[in-house]
A and B are shown apart, each in its own frame.
Chain A
Amino acid sequence: MSATVLAKPKPVQKANVVQKYKMELYLSALSAGFVFFAILLRGIATLPLDTSSLTSFQSWLNSVSDWIGNNQNSNPFFTFFINVIRDSIDAFVTGIQDLISQSIGNNASPLIGWLGIVVLLSFVAYTVANVRIAILVFLGLVSLGLLGFWQESMDTLALTLAAVVLALIIGIPLGICAGLFPRFEKVITPFLDFAQVMPTFVYLTPVTLFFLIGPASATIVTMVYAIPPALRITSVALHEVPWSSVEAAVSMGSTRIQALRKVQLPQAKRTIVVGINQTIMAALSMVTIAALIDAPGLGKVVVTALESLDIGKSFQAGLGIVILAVLLDRTTTAAASKVDTENSHLVSHKRHRQILLFGGIATLVALLISRIYSWAGNFPGTGLIGSDIARYADDIVNWIQLHFVSVTNAITNGVSYGLINPIQNLLTNSPWFVTGLAFVLLALILGGKKLAIISTLCVLGIVGTGLWSDTMTTLASVLVAATATVAIGIIFGVWIGRSKRADQIMRPMLDAGQVLPAFVYLVPFLGLFGATRFTAIMAAIVYAAPASIKLMADGIAGVPASITEAGIAAGSNKWQMIVKVQLPSARRALALSTNQGIIYVLAMVVVGGLVGAGGLGYLVVAGFTQLNLTGKGLAAGLAIVLLGILLDRITQAAAARSMLERTK
């Protein structure tokens, strides 16, 4: 293959100390200038829009969605192309459901009963990971049955598996392309941003228009969210393979394809498995949203329990989702590290083979028993521990509400009056061109001309959606939530990064925070903090902080021992060690955790709209439920994406800056 494909990464530019001071000066001048003009010109050109009013752009979006709705039955594109996709996905999902969750024919149980699934999956966990993981999977699956949600859990598993398999079939090949061809990566990146930041609520209704109500729609909605991590991480995995090894292979006469197959892919395997792990997590986080268009499983239980504010039951089902997530996460993580140490088995080869043989037979036996005896087919009982857990959760929440409500009310008011209101007033009362210019200048200082152009387009785009004022309302809450997330990320990240025990204690809680459906803790939060922006901010922190903490901890733990040892030799105490040595060395992780913190907070904007935060999140929800607001909901989703790209690119530029300074 030609040399053009073998493009080399650009050399890194170096910044100098003088520039650094200059930049700090610029940044302070910019913030002072922004606040001055925002207050001086307050109330001018703030572009407010009533909740029920529409701009012409939003009405146009309405008519587009109407047109699609009216033509879906007559247009050959829809009747042929879409139907084929729908039918094949439907068949795929219902096939898996028949296998593990839905009773088929005149049998009361699915093809494989619970005992068969438990033994089979434990065995699979042993073969891809190790004995410890196999035991964990066994206990986890049994506890799903004891919770009283065996069938629901298997429905969720079936849908997740289907979506993940399809997401990987699409995501990994595209990810390889993106890893090989930088130009393709550039083209596809905005689409990935779009898929990850665009709130699902926006396309929930259109998807059911095309793919009808049923498994296909639920799977597609989940896939849209799950493909980006698969694609991105595969591409990163290929980038990480040292360029010299590819060059060596090519110079020794390999074709480019051979180099990919024999050199790059094997070396990238471990990171690709990490990508699979993230894809599974992303798919699981969609469980409750997909339930809004009739996806079966645990999400449906959560949504139905919410109707009557049944906190206990929604917690019970939420716990089931967390258990599934932990099982899938630990198995894939262990599988990833096993790929690393392929040849150094803990157990001897002979022993390993014996276990495989025994496990294989046991699995077959279990499969058959589960097929023949009804006690092994349908999980017996109606949940031994489920109702107890629900009752405890109820009691605890009630107790907290009874005893802490005056404290939580005081906190809500303190933060709202002291922090959120001033920031929101500044942003919503400032003329759009002042705030917009501030963003563009910030981008110019941090990232240069190109970033300034992107920012200009984002700002103008937001103005174009007609929702500038709502965007500023949302931005205020996002800023508060993101700041808190980053602060929590640093504090806990340093703690966990420095102590193995802290890591063991915190890790399950962090996982729970990431996959426990927000709907589960929203009602208790509403009880404590009311229908306020503060509740929305709290929910965003619960979801976003785990990612920030994990990345930060990873960075701290990754500081080379030579550096920390030098710090000890220089006589640093614990505090000096953290502030002067570890944090500066983990600057890259700090930047990444800030960036991801913001993106995760943005993902919760819509959930905020469900608990009183108003702004763009509310408009998205309203668009989902009201025909005449569909266009406005679309516009609000667009505004969230533009805001997301703006904040993402600016924080990434700041991160790149700080890394340059470090290399200096």
Chain B
Amino acid sequence: MSTTSRFRRGTVFLLVATAISFAFSAGAPAQAAAAKCGTVNLADNAWVGYEADLAVVSYIMKNDLGCKVVVKNLSEQVSWQGFPTGQIDAILENWGHEDLAAKYITKQKVAVDLGSTGNKGIIGWYVVPWLAAKYPDITNWKNLNKYASMFKTSESGSQGAFLDGDPSYVTNDAAIIKNLKLNYKVIYTGSEAALITSFRNAEAQKKPMIGYFYEPQWFLAQVPLVHVTLPAWKSGCDANPKTVACDYPPYALNKVASAKFMSSGSPAATLLKNFSWTNADQNSVAKSLAVDKLSDDAAAKIWITAHPAIVKKWLGN
């Protein structure tokens, strides 16, 4: 074969050239990146909805604006810490976090609120679908005590078990249960993986389960959990975390970016400011990622090809 002979001839040459080649390669010039955009550092928080935003935004940044996108896997709090040091340019889906906003936007002025992502965040109490079908009145909090004994597990003593997930998510559940005098005990599962697995098993095995969950979330496409209504949220009813006895407020999910980055004139800044889509949009990309197991770029490409007008609007000034 021709490759074999090429090897043999090459070998001698290669041996001689070792040192030279290494010396040169170390100083190789960097790829000529599109000077217009430069590098964008995006935080990647650990839930699939966020991943969907990230997939689409970074795909457009790379392919339409010629940016170099650096994605950093971080928890929410650590992502905010990246603003003052210039290590994070944007967080694409922020859920509340008033304390962090006060610290970094209001006080240190290193971050700016870029407005809504267009996604409506709903936090609340959910039961597995089979349960809501069998006991339709269970979706009203007033009837929860009637069914409490059904939710008893080895972890909850004599009370019903109420499952909470990742501790970084905003929760008032323990206080709500106490103040509404519900006969339940909060079980801190400690992670989203544990919470989703619990819901999935409960539905598969037709076991009762109630817990904290949120929308938009890809898992709801697999197991459509049913929302339980709590006393309606009114402004201020959750001001004191000890006395809260009402539902969670609707969350307008927003984008947060580094102040320095926004004033840099990068075209990526415009894209970040304009980026906005619906829950259905996000869910479709999230499903491609989590259920169909596509790569970020493949999932983003499908959505972008189907929605050229929206992308054009984002890119326009």
Contacts and interface: CB of A to CB of B under 8 A. Distances in A.
B82 interface: yes
A526 B22 contact: no
B198 A292 contact: no
B190 interface: yes
A493 interface: no
A521 B25 CA distance: 42
Interface in B6-36: 7, 10-11, 14-15, 17-18, 21-22, 25-31
A50 B173 CA distance: 12
Interface string B293-310: 100000000000000000
B78 A104 contact: no
Given A105-B25, A111-B25, A523-B197, A416 B290 contact: no
A412 B78 CA distance: 36
B31 A106 contact: yes
A627 B100 CA distance: 8
A453 interface: no
B278 interface: no
A628 B100 CA distance: 10
A626 B190 contact: no
A612 B187 contact: yes
Contact of A625 (B17, B76, B174, B205): B76
Given A213-B72, A531-B198, A307 B155 contact: no
A51 B241 CA distance: 12
Contact of A106 (B28, B155, B289): B28
Interface string B42-61: 00001110010000000000
A369 interface: yes
Given A106-B30, A364-B18, A417 B154 contact: yes
B218 interface: yes
Contact of B29 (A51, A106, A208, A310): A106
A420 to B, nearest CB: 8
Nearest to B21: A371
Interface stretch (A149-157, A553-561, A568-576, A615-623): A615-623
A50 B78 contact: no
B30 to A, nearest CB: 6
Given A52-B241, A372-B14, A612-B155, A208 B81 contact: yes
Given A364-B18, A405-B201, A531-B189, A213 B163 contact: no
B73 A294 contact: yes
B39 to A, nearest CB: 14
Contacts of B186: 51
A206 B50 CA distance: 25
B179 to A, nearest CB: 13
A300 B18 CA distance: 34
A354 interface: no
A105 B28 contact: yes
A104 B28 contact: yes
Contact of B154 (A309, A361, A412, A526): A412
Given A417-B154, A626-B167, A293 B74 contact: yes
A614 interface: yes
A526 B190 contact: no
B259 to A, nearest CB: 15
B77 interface: yes
Contact of A307 (B30, B46, B154, B241): B46
A214 B81 CA distance: 13
Contacts of A313: 293
A530 interface: yes
Nearest to B102: A627
A303 interface: yes
B191 interface: yes
Interface in A402-452: 405, 412-413, 416-417, 420-421
B182 interface: no
Contacts of A371: 21-22, 25
B196 interface: yes
Given A205-B78, A533-B155, A612 B21 contact: no
A88 interface: no
Interface string A387-404: 000000000000000000
A255 interface: no
B75 A292 contact: yes
Contact of A365 (B11, B29, B168, B187): B11
Contacts of A533: 155
B190 A621 contact: yes
Contacts of B82: 212-213
Interface in B234-288: 241
Contacts of A534: 154
A432 to B, nearest CB: 21
A304 B73 contact: yes
Contacts of B191: 610-611, 621
A170 interface: no
Contacts of B122: none
B153 interface: yes
Contacts of A213: 72, 74, 78, 81-82, 85, 87-88
Contact of B17 (A209, A368, A522): A368
Contact of B77 (A307, A421, A530, A626): A626
A526 B289 contact: no
Nearest to A310: B293
B66 interface: no
Interface in A165-209: 204-205, 208-209
Interface in A272-309: 291-294, 300, 303-304, 306-309
A245 to B, nearest CB: 46
A637 interface: no
Contacts of B26: 104, 111
A140 B50 CA distance: 36
A403 to B, nearest CB: 13
A627 B29 contact: no
B233 interface: no
Contact of A611 (B25, B27, B189, B290): B189
A532 B197 CA distance: 12
Contact of A107 (B28, B72, B78, B289): B28
A417 B153 CA distance: 10
Contacts of B7: 369
26 contacts: A50-B174, A52-B241, A73-B84, A105-B30, A106-B29, A107-B25, A212-B82, A292-B73, A292-B74, A293-B78, A294-B72, A304-B73, A306-B193, A307-B46, A307-B192, A308-B290, A365-B15, A369-B7, A372-B10, A412-B154, A416-B155, A527-B197, A610-B190, A612-B155, A614-B187, A622-B168
Given A361-B15, A522-B193, A625-B76, 19 more contacts: A105-B30, A106-B28, A111-B26, A212-B82, A213-B72, A213-B82, A308-B290, A309-B193, A313-B293, A368-B17, A416-B154, A416-B155, A532-B155, A609-B188, A609-B190, A611-B191, A618-B190, A624-B75, A626-B167
Interface of A: 50-52, 69, 73, 104-107, 111, 204-205, 208-209, 212-214, 291-294, 300, 303-304, 306-310, 313, 361, 364-365, 367-369, 371-372, 405, 412-413, 416-417, 420-421, 522-523, 526-527, 530-534, 609-614, 617-618, 621-622, 624-629
Can you list the 6 inter-chain pairs with the closest CB atoms, starting with the nearest? A105-B28, A625-B168, A416-B154, A308-B290, A622-B167, A368-B14
